[in-house]
Each structure stands twice: as structure tokens, then as C-alpha cells.
Chains A and B, each alone.
Chain A
Amino acid sequence: MSALRELYQEVILDHNKSPRNFRRMEKPDRKVEGYNPLCGDHYTIFLKLENDIIKDICFEGAGCAISKASASVMSSLVKGKTKAEAEMLFNSFHRLVTGESDGVEEIEKLGKLAAFSGVSEFPARVKCASLAWHTLHAALASNEHRVSTE
């Protein structure tokens, strides 16, 4: 069960059970829907921006434990960060879940994000883990209102 334990780490189970920033936002500056047509996971991410800084972020929607925990951890990590910092985190996260991180040191630097290191052993679940991040990326980058993993 070890690969499975690596996937469903405590942090993930906890964030799945009690997701942080799991709510709607009235009058957001950006609001983007993310959708995985393969399994039906869908989330809406709401952002409040102040200049370059993510002042507030929250989300709502439904999906598997991996996608929900990922959205929750992401929301708590990027709050208060600049857009550029958030994009850098996305980059590291992407490397992590696709198994491209350079060894333990890089992973340790990721803090809470490291909980997703087990995902790389489950290629079918990479999209679940990345859905919220892709959605955030779209929200920061453009005026897009709907992104899909396909």
C-alpha cells in the first residue's frame, strides 16, 4: 500500500475533508471555471487582485480527493503572493507531479506542496492534481473564463 499511502498523504486527506477557502466570492476581479471532461471534476476559482498581488482567493466545485485537496492547498499557498510568485509555484508543482523535480532537495523546498509528490506514480491522476493550478494560471494570464484539461 506504500505508493497508495504516498498518494493519499495526511495533508491531502485533511484538505479533502475540510477544504480551505472553499466558498463563493461576491464581486471577484477574476472568476474562471476549470473542468476535466474525463471525470467531470469542475471547480470555479475566484480571485481578488490588488495590482500584482493575489489579495484573496477562494473556490467552489466538486471532484476527487486529489483535485479538491490540490485546489485547497493552492489557495492557501498563493494568497498574498504576487502573480509571478504564484506562477513559479505552479511551475514547481507541475515538475513535482510529472516526476521532473530534481531530487529530495527541490521537493523539500516545496513545503506543503510536497504532499503531492506521490501523484507522479499515478499518471492517470496528474490531471486531477493540476486542474486547479491550470485554472488559476488561466485566471491570472487572461480573460478566459473556462479552461479544460483536454
Chain B
Amino acid sequence: MRPAHDMLTPVTIEKSFDVDRIRTEFPILKQRVNGKPLAYLDNAATSQKPQVVIDAMNRYYLEENSNIHRGVHFLSDKATQSYEAARKKIQRFINAASHKEIIFVRGTTEAINLVAQSYGRKYFHAGDEMIISAMEHHSNIVPWQMICEEKGLTLRVIPMNDKGELFIDKFETMLNPKTKFVAVVHVSNALGTINPVQQIIEIAHRRGVPVIVDGAQAVPHMKVDVRDLDCDFYAFSAHKMYGPTGVGVLYGKQHLLEAMPPYQGGGDMIKSVTYAKTTYNDLPNKFEAGTPNIVGGVGLGATIDFMNTLDFEAATAHEHELLEYATEVLTTIKGLRIIGTAREKASVVSFVLEGIHPHDIGTILDDDGIAIRTGHHCAQPVMQCFGIPATARASFAMYNTKEEIDALVKGIYKVIEVFS
């Protein structure tokens, strides 16, 4: 899949995307921090939420709150309908074949753990191998390490070059008859790299190996079509795509999910229980034990409604413009080095300043109301790859502006001045 910005000309962007109007939908952006206008450039950590999502969640608690799938009364019906409607919205949003393939989870992390514990427990055996990449978030490393250790698998890692691009040819040679699974990130949160996941999936499938894609950073910034990708599993979090925290999605191909054992046991995931035998529920309920985050699901549904009102390609193009502008102006700063310079990148700029630790950069920028992330971004192996302990990271969403990037640059000069 090609990122949407490739298909657009700058003229359409101006016409169809009005950043000032978009900003008015996000009340938190009006805030001042330390007397300065907030410049929220930490969107890869979590995005802000539009008023319509906040309202939908409020309305749920004000008018519909009840438990789902179990009551015969009016409110329970209403709540169940809202929750299940959200599932169908998600299905259409990522173009899944059936709503049964949409499993509500806590977020990307839980989605990956679910697959590791359920699929891995059933299909992994001692002596097998699985493959991840050198730019995974800890949430796409540790769950696999846990199951690999338990089952006696070797975990292999696709290496990357110094721009932060995976060596796809090396990946191809790593696949062998022992390979049972591939887990790869769609867009790297630490480097911004957009990985050629479609190609990776195609290569793996030629060997009959299923693939899970960590889409936490992709879904907010590009159109994702799981059937076009042909991925076997796809994981993402609502909170990074303008939705609420505490809810996310595992997409899985129906025949795979059907063959997998449950992840957790409890209410809602059963058909019948006796002490002798429990019959599990059908998809998707089999994987949704217990009362879920109902308001979160409803909020995610509203988030998708919101995203559907946007000219998504234009929003993506705007973000790409921000990325190019930031890259251009930041590179003019002496002593600043951008970490992650892949050809295909999403709107993430990780950087280091010579002689100044990212933590100090973050504190000084915050004084001017500029919110960035500093640290290892839950990707310590990536930092080790580049031989640095941490980076400062600015990550943009569609509501960010060039003025905010100018403020960032000004702030960085102030950092340099403090330490001169």
C-alpha cells in the first residue's frame, strides 16, 4: 500500500483541508501552558480527542449506560446496539470481511498478547522460529519473548540500515521451514518509518507463514485496508487515532480466530458452563471475556464517524507537509541530528542535539508550552541500534500547524542557548 500523500497534489490540500477548522473540534488545543499557546507535538504517544467523541461518551453515560449482551431491558438493548454498531463501523473502516473478525481489546498491547498467548500456545513448538523486526515497540517484542521462552522458540530479528529501513532481502533469507510466525510494525513510533508490510506479508505467505501487523501508528495516519494488505492479524489502539484510552482492536482472519483457543475465561465468552464442560461462544465474543470497556467502544465508534467526515487523504497530505517542513527546518539547526530518515516516513521526527540530553530539551521546550516526548519511546533496541540512549521526538497530527513547528525550532535555539 502506498501512503496517501503520494496521490495528492498540493492544490487539493488547500481546498479540502482547513486546519483552523479542524483545531476548533479539539477543545484541549485552546489551552495555554506556562502562559504560551500549547503546541501539542506528542501525538505518537497519544492524540487529543475531538468534542464529538467526548460528547458521544458523555451521552452514553447520560442516556444509555447498562451492561451489554445480557439484559432484556430497554437500556441494555440500547447499550448493546451502540457497542455492536461500533464494531461494524470498525469493520468497514479497515475493510474487514466480517464484524466477527473485530475483537475489542484494551489496546495494541493486549491485542498482541492475545495472539501470542492464544495462537502461540496452540501452534508454537520447541525448535520453531518466529521473526520480528529491529524497530518494534516493546509491546511487539516482550509478548513474543514470553511465549518463545515458554515454548522453546528462537526469536529472530530483521535488521535495518542506518536510515531506519528494514532489509527485506535479509528477511526473505531468514524465512525457513521452522518459521511459524512474523510480527512487524506498520509505522515505527520511534523512527517514523513506514514499513512495506504488504511486501513482507506477501513474502511470508509464499512460505505459508502468518503475519501480525502492529498498526498503532499507522491507523491514525493512513488508510488501512486489512484485506488489501492480506495481513492475518492487525492491532491498533483507539487513543492514538483521536479516540479514548483503554480500548483498541484486534483484527484477525475469521478462520484463524475460529481455530484459536480463548485468551481469557469468564462471562460473555461462553455458551454454556457446567463443571464438566464449558462450550465457548462464537466469534467475536469468544475473545471478549467479562464486561468490556463499553463506553470506550462507543467512543471508538464515534471516533470513526469523526474520521469518516474528514477528507482523510487531505489530512494525511497535511501531515506529510508538516513532516517535510519540520525535517527541512530542523536540519538547519547546527548540532541537530534526525534519527530515522527512511524514504517512506509518517509524521514523526526523532532527533538528538549534540552534547544536550533529550530530557533537558523536553523540560526547556515545555517551558514554552511545547509538548514533545523524550526517552527511548518503548523501543530500547532501536536506541541501541543507533548507539544513543534516547531521543527527543516531535510527532504531528492533522491539527498541528507550521507555526507550531516554528515554535519548536525557536524552542530548540533556546535550549542551545541555555547550554552554550
Contacts and interface: CB of A to CB of B under 8 A. Distances in A.
Q: Do A and B come from one complex?
A: yes
B131 to A, nearest CB: 27
Interface in B340-366: 356-360, 363-364
Contacts, number: 52
B375 A66 contact: no
A140 interface: no
B375 A40 contact: yes
Interface stretch (A48-56, A57-65, A84-92, A106-114): A57-65
Interface string A1-34: 1011001100001001000000000000000000
Given A13-B419, A39-B390, A128-B359, A3 B367 contact: yes
Contacts of A3: 367
Contact of A1 (B358, B367, B374, B375): B367
Nearest to B356: A65
Contacts of B380: 40
Interface string A58-86: 00001111100000000000000000000
A125 B275 CA distance: 54
A122 B364 CA distance: 11
A128 B375 CA distance: 13
Interface residues of A, number: 21
B27 interface: no
A8 B418 contact: yes
B376 A40 contact: yes
B359, B374, B383, most chain A CB atoms within 10 A = B359
A16 B375 CA distance: 19
B389 interface: yes
Contact of B357 (A42, A63, A122, A124): A63
Given A8-B418, A40-B383, A65 B367 contact: no
A40 B418 CA distance: 22
A64 B359 CA distance: 6
A8 B415 CA distance: 11
Contacts of B364: 4, 8
Contacts of A1: 367
Contact of A122 (B356, B363, B374, B390): B363
Nearest to B362: A124
A7 B389 CA distance: 22
Contacts of B359: 39, 41, 63-64, 66, 125, 128
B418 A64 contact: no
Contacts of A63: 357, 359, 389
A7 B419 contact: no
B418 A4 contact: yes
B363 A13 contact: no
Contacts of B360: 8, 64-66
A5 to B, nearest CB: 9
B376 A4 contact: no
A141 interface: no
Given A39-B358, A63-B359, A64-B359, 14 more contacts: A1-B367, A16-B419, A39-B374, A39-B389, A39-B390, A40-B383, A40-B389, A41-B359, A41-B389, A63-B389, A64-B358, A66-B359, A125-B359, A125-B363
29 contacts: A1-B367, A4-B363, A4-B367, A7-B363, A8-B360, A8-B418, A13-B419, A38-B375, A39-B358, A39-B359, A39-B375, A39-B389, A39-B390, A40-B375, A40-B376, A40-B380, A40-B383, A40-B390, A41-B357, A41-B359, A41-B389, A42-B389, A62-B357, A63-B389, A64-B359, A66-B359, A124-B363, A125-B363, A128-B359
4 tightest A-B contacts by CB?
Answer: A40-B389, A64-B357, A64-B359, A4-B367
Interface of A: 1, 3-4, 7-8, 13, 16, 38-42, 62-66, 122, 124-125, 128
